[in-house]
Structure 1
Amino acid sequence: MELQNHFLVFDKRHRHLQEFRTLRGGESNYEVERFLAKMRGQKHRGPKSRAGAVGRPRRIEVISHLDAADRLPAIFFVFSRQGCDDAVQNALENGVDFLDGREKQRVETIVEEHVKDLSRDDLALLNFDSWLTGLCAGLASHHAGMVTPFKEAVEDCFAAGLLKVVFATETLAMGVNLPAKSVVIEQLSRFRGEGHVTLTAGEYTQLTGRAGRRGIDSSGHAYALWSPYESFGELSRLARSTDFVLESAFRPTYNMAANLMNRVLRNEAINLLERSFAQYRSNSNILRLNKNLDKARASLKTAQGELKRLGVEHAGDGPGTGVPTATSGPPLEKLRPGAIIERLHGNEAQFLLVLGTTSRRGGEHRLRVVTARGKVMMLSPTDFDTAPQLITDLELPKPYAPNRREYQRTCARLLKQALNELGIVLEIRRPEGDLRAERAKATRRVEQAQIGIDAAKHQIEVAEGGLAQSLRAIEEIMDLFGCSQDWVLTPVGKYLQGIFHEMDLLTALSLSEDLFTELSPPELAGLVSTLTYEHRSRLDPPPPWYPNTSLKNKVGVLLTRSGQLRKAERERGLPETREPDPTIVGLVHGWASGHALADVVDDTSSVGDFVRHIRQVVDLLSQIADVAPTPEVRECAREACRLLDRDLVAAAARLQETERGMVFGDGD
């Protein structure tokens, strides 16, 4: 089916949308560039604009434009869950309503079938009435944060032709077969952790691939909107690109290694991996990796020259070779809320109170701190010229609410009081000159450059040695932790055969070390949630709550074992197993103890996430119930599954998660 790419821009002079074809003859449409250049020189009445007489089309204008052109139904891709929900409400507030009375009745019939298992309290918590109002107007949102019955109802209504506009995150393009006549990509970039990243050609094609209904439409239509932050050239490059690089997500796991050990000889396993597509892609990356190594070496040379200029004559190639290191102090990941620290930055020293900590995917730890004057800051390792000095610990007020301004002011007053009691002058202190700070900065640059060199060397080694080398490293770790010996599984290793999870080895070790014993079903559910949950929001997670000391101690043991495993993986150049996350231990324990959904989750937008997290806990508990070595643990795991799998969570089980194996994740 033919795909037609379109570009929409708002003409401020004539107060209407201008539509252009993105490509002409397979190349960028020069008429668009000419139009934009002309309009940039035009003046218009109203606020001053660097874009001249053009503007970004509003959603309601785009909807009207598509409706007039008979190009509905349409999917608007919005890279934010909240943005999807807000878009529906905005359309309703602007009077958008596509359905007649009979169509509204059909929507209500479909919805009733999907929500029949939900209680009135559940529906009230989910803002059911507001959601249904949107559906009955032919409008809906679709994203991973929705509970399964709602998501299913949206998909069935869309398939029945009852929805004219759906605001969706990219999950709709990754696993749900719901083609539309048109798709609208609101922006060509999305926020990913540290900043906005432009879509790849493959991602753009995946999204626009929803345009066009086979057997109904002769062509599909993909619309992109003008933005002052994105060039038309970038859009046309994506639209005409045919350079799609397939990247294999495959890598050996502990579970895979255990099953290979049980079935084939070591050499046979290596031969299997070397014939994989992932190995082929690894080979093709070696040239690129060597270029990265050259860049890292150049950075090291520059950093060493700067360090020598500052009077350090023996700057070597890494730790232990004469490079001065930061003054002793705890690393950021060791600090906890309530810690009072001294921070050196430039030629300034400050005393700060830690309000919260967070960890990003790449392993970078950050601190949310407040000064004695009430200023709140988010600090990363690069904000410290030397390691922070721990002065003392302070008990933070309860209830813990670090995001509230009044709470932050209270903490600032407590910090000031504590510093006065310690006899510390509040004013910023000035270290002797700037040389110490400059040397610390230069040292950090040398160390970072060396880390870059080491990482590039390892990546080349892995690419040259391939997946076989990764398998050998995995075998070493399995031997180290008693799961295997000379390619033969031990009893601990046999647990691994039945655990299909990203935390497979840590789960098997927990089983072998009786970490799951002497727990009630709700306690076991809470403990297992640390293996399934990962906090991904840009906001700090709340401090974990434990129902009792015993469970807290078990989590502590699990975190210690995790640290040992991650260290072993790091030393062998393997991707590190993520650290267990105790953020929702209390929530999972409460749900398994029979509390109502409204008592456990008080935020409508997080209900879908909570249900999905519970389903993930149930999945891992089911595997534990199958492989646990004792009848007590097996029965406890089964009972925990039964207690968790109720009400809204049970209803969600009707549909398998469609988000697994996505190319890129859903927005927050």
Structure 2
Amino acid sequence: MERVAAENPSIAIEAVQDHLPALYFVFGRARTEELAAELGREWDFLFPDEKEMVLKAILETEKEHPEIFQRGHRRVLRKLLQQGIGYHHAGLSPVLKNLVERLYESRLLWVLFCTETFAAGVNFPAATTLFHSCRKWDGKEFRTLMNREFFQMAGRAGRRGFDRVGHVYIRIDDKFPEQTGFFDESQVESVYGRLTISPNTVLSLLKWKTDEEIDRFLTQNFSAYQERRAQREINQLLEELNRQYEQVKSIFCELRGEASCPLQRRKLIREQKRLRSSKYKNRPGSRERIEEIKQILANQQSQRCLHEVCADARDRLEALGYQRAGLLGQLNAVQQQSQKYIHEYHFVKGILENLGYIKGREFFARGNFALELHVQEIFVTELAFAGILEDLAPEQVAGILAGVDYIPGRREFVPAPPYDPTPVHELREELLAAGVPPQFLVWSSAPGFVAHAWYTGQGLDYLLENTSLQEGDIVSIIRRLIDLLRQIDDASHSNPSLRERVREIRRVIDRDEVAVVF
């Protein structure tokens, strides 16, 4: 692993030109495009026959999707691809992402600027990986990469059968040189299981499992296994500490704690001095305690012994005591954690009973409806049973459902939807007042404009011109909406009119670039 001090990507690529292809990781969509364009002004990696192969792939894509390179800065990408340079991020349309991936797999892209999503779940190795920065925005703050994140990306360096070793380069950030990161593979953070107890989880368990099976599910999942293993490890450490504690205690003689013990006499003398200080001498009981100590010291003579050994043992016991207290705290936290799934299960079950979804193991209409949902089950169910999905115009329903489980980006701009979302806000407030936790009521009006426009026939060009979203964002919003409509379709078997309505909405929006192919 080497460190490169260069803002210009050309300098970095020049340093690694004998170790291509390279994945250049950048933490920002716009920055991937900027750096790719900057490199393209100075570098061209392809021979004429390779350029023809790239052009053929581009023309085939354009034949099916004529407008694919006409939007935004995508014409620049078309030119870059023919130079063996590309970029890849979540804002690209699925068609463009697929094209870039195919060209990279065919060894027709020699430098690919990408965000960390390219390293997650997709096996595209490289001879070299470069990091433009080791700092990222995690949704709350900018921070240095964790070891696990770094090695997930750095691990792409080195292709089996091609490279003897992989090369990793880090660009030093002049503004934050101390946050460049010095990563240690032996310190990779552990991955912990996390069971999410959602309303669907509870309903499914009640519908299909016995009480014994539910208990086993809650107490013997992977996360619970990890916690039991942690308990065993902590208990083993406590046993070792207790053994050391008893071993150190054996050093002391029978005079420990007596006034004739030099260590105890020193302790009493220190207490006496403290009580004579201006801070304590006038406090009630101080004079009496001073006299008591004076008598104790006078009545017992100090013994001659190797009290330095005892002093070391005392300090060791104190250190062991601190370690033991820390381990006991960890053990208590783990023990509480091991019960959390049972508590969460009963908490969510109580909410469902209070809302009239179930009573014990008896399912009511709302419970059967929510059983078929897999996202924000309570909120979607209440939207349906409040009549909102049947009473409002279909384009409004599309806009409302698009906001389910949606969290806007920090720099995202989308106009307000062309309808009044007040009924949805009011429903959400009622559910919060009824004790439904906010994580079961995640909804935003932001995607409403997108879904409403798409339903009424507008295309990607219109949405790109009127929002800050990119193709990939828009496609994601509509495809998530299509999937939610499919879930509501499955849940509406006892309500033919609602089923017919959601099927019609899905038929209208499942088109063009966002079409879901099964």
- Aligned mates of 1:177, 1:257 — CA distance in 2: 36
Q: Is the 8 A contact 1:261 1:489 kept in 2?
A: no
Q: Secondary structure at the match of 1:82?
A: helix
Q: Structure 2: which 5+ residue stretches go unaligned?
A: 233-329
Does 1:640 pair with 2:508? Answer: no
Query: Paired residue for 1:495?
Result: 369
- Aligned mates of 2:463, 2:333 — CA distance in 1: 44
Q: Is the 8 A contact 1:75 1:168 kept in 2?
A: yes
1:613 Cα deviation from its structure 2 partner:
0.7
Taking a change above 3 Å as real, the CA distance of residues 460 and 480 of structure 1, as seen in their structure-2 partners, is farther
Residues 455-507 of structure 1, C-alpha deviation per residue, up to 9 Å, x if partnerless?
A: x9x98785142311111111111111111111332221111221112x12211
Residues 313-342 of structure 1, C-alpha deviation per residue, up to 9 Å, x if partnerless?
A: xxxxxxxxxxxxxxxxxxxxxxxxxxxxxx
Q: Identity rate of aligned residues, in percent?
A: 24
Taking a change above 3 Å as real, the CA distance of residues 233 and 637 of structure 1, as seen in their structure-2 partners, is closer
- Aligned mates of 1:123, 1:643 — CA distance in 2: 25
- Aligned mates of 2:440, 2:164 — CA distance in 1: 48
Q: Is the 8 A contact 1:545 1:585 kept in 2?
A: yes
| AA at the equivalent of 2:454 | W
Q: Secondary structure at the match of 1:559?
A: helix
Q: Secondary structure at the match of 2:167?
A: strand
Q: Secondary structure at the match of 2:192?
A: coil
Q: Secondary structure at the match of 1:125?
A: coil
Residues 212-259 of structure 1, C-alpha deviation per residue, up to 9 Å, x if partnerless?
A: 1122222211111223455679743x1343443112243221111111
Taking a change above 3 Å as real, the CA distance of residues 91 and 282 of structure 1, as seen in their structure-2 partners, is same
Q: Is the 8 A contact 2:133 2:180 kept in 1?
A: no
Query: Paired residue for 1:86?
Result: 34
1:605 Cα deviation from its structure 2 partner:
5.5
Query: Paired residue for 2:449?
Result: 586
Larger radius of gyration: 2
| AA at the equivalent of 1:65 | A
- Aligned mates of 1:219, 1:624 — CA distance in 2: 51
Instruction: Choose the corresponding residue for 1:76, options 15, 24, 48.
Output: 24
Matches within 5 A, 1:300-379: none
Q: Secondary structure at the match of 1:166?
A: strand
1:109 Cα deviation from its structure 2 partner:
1.7
Residues 130-149 of structure 1, C-alpha deviation per residue, up to 9 Å, x if partnerless?
A: 21101111111111111000
Does 1:64 pair with 2:11? Answer: no
Query: Paired residue for 2:65?
Result: 118
Q: Secondary structure at the match of 1:106?
A: helix
Which structure has greater helix proportion? 2
Taking a change above 3 Å as real, the CA distance of residues 188 and 654 of structure 1, as seen in their structure-2 partners, is farther
- Aligned mates of 2:220, 2:19 — CA distance in 1: 47
Matches within 5 A, 1:78-477: 78-93=26-41, 95-120=42-67, 123-228=69-174, 235-236=181-182, 238-282=183-227, 463-477=337-351
Residues 174-198 of structure 1, C-alpha deviation per residue, up to 9 Å, x if partnerless?
A: 1221111110122222123443211
Residues 103-138 of structure 1, C-alpha deviation per residue, up to 9 Å, x if partnerless?
A: 111112222333433243x54224442211011111
- Aligned mates of 1:217, 1:98 — CA distance in 2: 19
Taking a change above 3 Å as real, the CA distance of residues 631 and 554 of structure 1, as seen in their structure-2 partners, is farther
Report how many residues are paired.
421
Q: Secondary structure at the match of 2:142?
A: strand
- Aligned mates of 1:520, 1:62 — CA distance in 2: 55
Query: Paired residue for 2:432?
Result: 563
Residues 7-39 of structure 1, C-alpha deviation per residue, up to 9 Å, x if partnerless?
A: 234xxxxxxxxxxxxxxxxxxxxxxxxxxxxxx
- Aligned mates of 2:100, 2:26 — CA distance in 1: 16
- Aligned mates of 1:563, 1:459 — CA distance in 2: 29
Taking a change above 3 Å as real, the CA distance of residues 260 and 153 of structure 1, as seen in their structure-2 partners, is same
CA RMSD of aligned residues (A): 3.0
Does 1:624 pair with 2:497? Answer: no
Instruction: Choose the corresponding residue for 2:417, options 545, 563, 566.
Output: 545
1:604 Cα deviation from its structure 2 partner:
7.5
Instruction: Choose the corresponding residue for 1:601, options 464, 475, 478.
Output: 464
- Aligned mates of 1:605, 1:586 — CA distance in 2: 12
Taking a change above 3 Å as real, the CA distance of residues 542 and 234 of structure 1, as seen in their structure-2 partners, is closer
Q: Is the 8 A contact 1:211 1:220 kept in 2?
A: yes
1:538 Cα deviation from its structure 2 partner:
4.0
Q: Is the 8 A contact 1:125 1:604 kept in 2?
A: no
- Aligned mates of 1:569, 1:559 — CA distance in 2: 10
Does 1:7 pair with 2:40? Answer: no
Taking a change above 3 Å as real, the CA distance of residues 517 and 285 of structure 1, as seen in their structure-2 partners, is farther
Which protein, 1 or 2, shows the higher relative CO under an 8 Å CA cutoff with sep ≥ 6? 1
When normalised by structure 1's length, the TM-score is 0.59
Q: Secondary structure at the match of 1:248?
A: coil
- Aligned mates of 2:147, 2:502 — CA distance in 1: 45
1:585 Cα deviation from its structure 2 partner:
1.1
| AA at the equivalent of 1:466 | K
Q: Is the 8 A contact 1:115 1:150 kept in 2?
A: no
Taking a change above 3 Å as real, the CA distance of residues 605 and 263 of structure 1, as seen in their structure-2 partners, is closer
Q: Is the 8 A contact 1:274 1:466 kept in 2?
A: no
Which structure has greater strand proportion? 1
- Aligned mates of 2:334, 2:423 — CA distance in 1: 39
Query: Paired residue for 2:322?
Result: none
Query: Paired residue for 1:46?
Result: none
| AA at the equivalent of 1:534 | I
Taking a change above 3 Å as real, the CA distance of residues 562 and 112 of structure 1, as seen in their structure-2 partners, is farther
Q: Is the 8 A contact 1:279 1:466 kept in 2?
A: no
Q: Secondary structure at the match of 2:391?
A: coil
Taking a change above 3 Å as real, the CA distance of residues 459 and 116 of structure 1, as seen in their structure-2 partners, is farther
Q: Secondary structure at the match of 2:204?
A: helix
Residues 608-644 of structure 1, C-alpha deviation per residue, up to 9 Å, x if partnerless?
A: 2111111111110111112123212111111111211
Q: Is the 8 A contact 1:532 1:616 kept in 2?
A: no
Q: Structure 1: which 5+ residue stretches go unaligned?
A: 10-55, 288-455, 571-575, 656-668
| AA at the equivalent of 2:55 | E
